[in-house]
Amino acid sequence: MTDFTEAADLTELSAVRLLDGYRGGEFSPVEATRAALARAEEVQPELNAFVRLLAGDALEQARASEERWRRGEPRGLLDGVPVTVKDILLLRGAPTLRGSRTIDPAGGRWDEDAPSVARLREHGAVFLGKTTTPEFGWKGVTDSPLSGVTRNPHDPTRTAGGSSGGAAAAVARGAGPLALGTDGGGSVRIPAAFCGIFALKPTYGRVPLYPASAFGTLAHVGPMTRDAADAALLMDVIGVPDSRDWSALGPAPESFTAGLAGGVRGLRVAYSPSLGGQVAVRPEVAAAVRRAVERLAGLGAYVEETDPDLADPVDAFHTLWFAGAARVVQRLTREQRERLDPGLREICGAGARYSALDYLAAVDVRVDLGRRMGRFHERYDLLVTPTLPITAFEAGAEVPKGSGHRRWTGWTPFTYPFNMTQQPAATVPVGTDADGLPVGLQLVAARHRDALVLRAAHALYEAGVPASGATPGGG
């Protein structure tokens, strides 16, 4: 099994292609895992995408998978595929430190998988390691007191985004084709857009979450992948009920992979370049997104430039988000609080001052927003926006220098509203700016229409928007 690996780099292959290779005997899970681990070790000093690599465990899992493939008895849909897990989600046998120095690695038994991780294990996936997160996933960039700054694979002086920044950087540089991230206000879509990969925030409850997030029903688990086909495959594995999550949805009506076919012909697409002028979008970003929208029209979609009835809900989001952050740290001692990220400590203070009535008023805003988006999707199958109005800025900062923004929500106005409405939303890379930094397009559909989002994204990939498979940094 060496001819293929001498001719091509296994780290450049999607999960779908790896599985085809295992099935045809071109290469093995052990070869793919060794390649992914080597790439992770190579890029870690530059990008800081991992808090923990699990090389020994991963190779043991890969050898077991290789034996199953040799017998013609693969365990499941992802047998032998290397994956990474954001260090917010439980992974049996490894501490989950959530980017915080307040969590003692020796203080827990670490003997339970999160639901999505458990499904991956049941399907034979190979766990490469845990990826970086800001402390408790609180912001849209990835740096923490525990693990430092995670950097962009296209330019290490820039941020990878967050809060699933390590996952995005790992996938972009070939350290595993599949990653699990979490998204409470854009946290799979933001880093995916900055790093030039695909990510889906599913409908709330489609992927079960346990333990429950302190950020409540804003928090989603989602796939971060090389393309939409890989995300659909991953959703077929993780998008099933788990008894530990009382808010989880029932089984999906069909396979997400099977639903990829069909294209976008006849779909009603609303294109909102700036949410009705509310968002100042960088010209290079706007141009790249518009070109991709024109391609959707060329594929047969009925595209109309129009805006949803969407007044910026940032104040209500802050109430919900800051209150959730305060809940995260509620049981910490004064000494432990002093060790927190200063920005997190600040929003926790604000969150602790909200009353129950303040919180319920924010819920009312959320309910009304959901109602308006529900009515909007009676007229349109999909909403298309930029994922972000900018490309990646300097690493180590919460907001771009000179932007005037106080918090990360100032530069993410296209992402957090759809956590409030619980809708499925994906980001697709659709080009780069003059500095070679990726631009993302966001696809949004009505609740429960995750398969439609994946189908439209897949149509863009099939049409060559974007060209997939490139590895930034040349290695």
Residue 5 has pLDDT above 50, yes or no: no
Reading the block at residue 475, the tokens are 């290695």
Is 187 among the residues known to form the active site? yes
Is the CB of residue 448 less than 8 Å from the CB of residue 422? no
pLDDT band at 109 (very low <50, low <70, confident <90, very high): confident
| Weakest mean pLDDT among 57-66, 236-245, 333-342, 460-469 | 460-469
Reading the block at residue 400, the tokens are 């771009």
Mean pLDDT of the region 83-97: 98
Q: Is the pTM of this model over 0.75?
A: yes
- The Cα–Cα gap between 289 and 431 comes to 8
Is the CB of residue 202 less than 8 Å from the CB of residue 450? yes
| 282-303 tens-digit pLDDT | 999 999 999 999 999 999 999 9
Is 130 among the residues known to form the active site? no
Residues shown for the chain: 475
pLDDT band at 472 (very low <50, low <70, confident <90, very high): confident
Tell me how far CA of residue 170 lies from CA of 174, 274, 371, in angstroms. 6, 30, 37
Question: Higher pLDDT residue, 235 or 469?
Answer: 235
Place of tokens 């530990």: 244
Q: Which helix (H) or strand (E) holds 457?
A: helix 450-462
Return the exposure string of 347-365: e unless at least 16 CB atoms fall within 10 Å of the residue's CB, then b: bbeebeebeeeebeebbeb
Mean pLDDT of the region 97-120: 95
Query: Can you spell out the DSSP letters for 205-238?
Result: TSS--SSPPTTGGG-EEEEEESSHHHHHHHHHHH
Residue 255 has pLDDT above 70, yes or no: yes
Query: Can you spell out the DSSP letters for 383-435?
Result: EEEES-SS---BTT-SS-TTS--SSGGGG-TTTTHHHHTT--EEEEEEEE-TT
pLDDT score for 371:
98
**From start to end of 184-325, where are the E strands?**
198-201, 220-225, 268-271, 302-305
Tell me how far CA of residue 319 lies from CA of 37, 178, 215, 313, in angstroms. 41, 33, 11, 10
Is 100 among the residues known to form the active site? no
Is the CB of residue 288 less than 8 Å from the CB of residue 424? no
Reading the block at residue 430, the tokens are 């659709």
Mean pLDDT of the region 86-115: 96
Kindly report the backbone phi and psi dihedral angles of residue 341, in degrees, each rounded to the nearest multiple of 5, phi listed first: -50, 125
pLDDT score for 475:
44
Indicate which residue of 28, 187, 272, 468 is catalytic.
Answer: 187
Mean pLDDT value across the chain? 96
Reading the block at residue 284, the tokens are 């290079």
Tell me how far CA of residue 452 lies from CA of 7, 192, 224, 443, in angstroms. 36, 19, 17, 9
pLDDT score for 8:
59
Indicate which residue of 65, 163, 213, 468 is catalytic.
Answer: 163
Place of tokens 């966001």: 442
- Looking at domain 3-474, its CATH class is alpha beta
Reading the block at residue 158, the tokens are 């820039």
| 418-467 tens-digit pLDDT | 999 999 999 999 999 999 999 999 999 999 999 999 999 999 999 999 75
- The Cα–Cα gap between 427 and 442 comes to 4
Mean pLDDT of the region 28-46: 98
Q: Which helix (H) or strand (E) holds 443?
A: strand 438-445
- The Cα–Cα gap between 229 and 233 comes to 6
DSSP 94: B
pLDDT score for 474:
45
Residue ranges of the domains in the chain?
3-474
Is the CB of residue 295 less than 8 Å from the CB of residue 465? yes
Cα Dmax for the chain? 66
Pairing of strands 178-183, 82-86: parallel
| 39-60 tens-digit pLDDT | 999 999 999 999 999 999 999 9
% of the chain beyond a pLDDT of 90: 95
Can you give the C-alpha Rg of the chain in angstroms?
21
pLDDT score for 469:
42
Mean pLDDT of the region 313-324: 98
Indicate which residue of 14, 28, 86, 213 is catalytic.
Answer: 86
- The Cα–Cα gap between 389 and 455 comes to 24
Task: Count Cα neighbours of 356 within 13 Å in the Cβ-side half-sphere.
Answer: 0
